[in-house]
Amino acid sequence: MNEGYVKLYRKLMHNVVWQDPLKLKLWLFCLMKASYKKREVLIDNQIVQLDSGQFVTGRDSIEREFNRDMQKKYQVSGRTLWRWMKLLESEQYISINSTNKFSIITINNWDVYNKNDQQMSEKHPATGHQMSTNKKEKN
């Protein structure tokens, strides 16, 4: 999942997470970890179905991934990160569905954030093709 992009809205600057750089990083981490399409993942010999806007994590794995390549003084404990995840849930940024082995995180309103991009990409090839064809005919 190291490909693609996420769309950010300027109104993010007016949200609670903007006020704290580490909480903002956690929110961006969630957006970047979320699957952009339906897929299956294997966790401890169990197949887990993920919808777009979801990802699987746990306290240890989120600590490891969040702190990767960070200076020691900026690293955050898994316990604190999980408390912040619960804050994101209480502010309705995400929903958390936990089991005893892992948690499925769902980005609330994922489809709303990405709806325009999907519609544009479906329509764009035909429109783009017609535009370039028309330009060639004029020349």
On the question of pLDDT at 22 being above 60, the answer is yes
Would you say residue 129 has pLDDT above 90?
no
Report residue 32's pLDDT band, with 50, 70 and 90 as the boundaries: very high
Predicted local distance difference test score (pLDDT) of residue 128:
45
Q: Where are the domains of the chain?
A: 10-108, 110-139
Class of domain 10-108: mainly alpha
Helices (H), 10-77: 21-33, 59-67
Q: Cβ-count burial of 88 within 10 angstroms (0-12 exposed, 13-18 middle, 19+ buried)?
A: buried
The answer to whether 57 and 102 have CB atoms below 8 angstroms apart is: yes
Q: What is the pLDDT of residue 132?
A: 44
Give me the pLDDT at residue 7, please: 82
Measured from the Cβ of residue 69, the count of other Cβ atoms closer than 10 Å reads 4
SS3 of 88, please? helix
Query: pTM of the full predicted structure?
Result: 0.78
Cβ neighbours around 25 below 10 Å, total: 16
- CA 119 – CA 115 distance, rounded (Å): 6
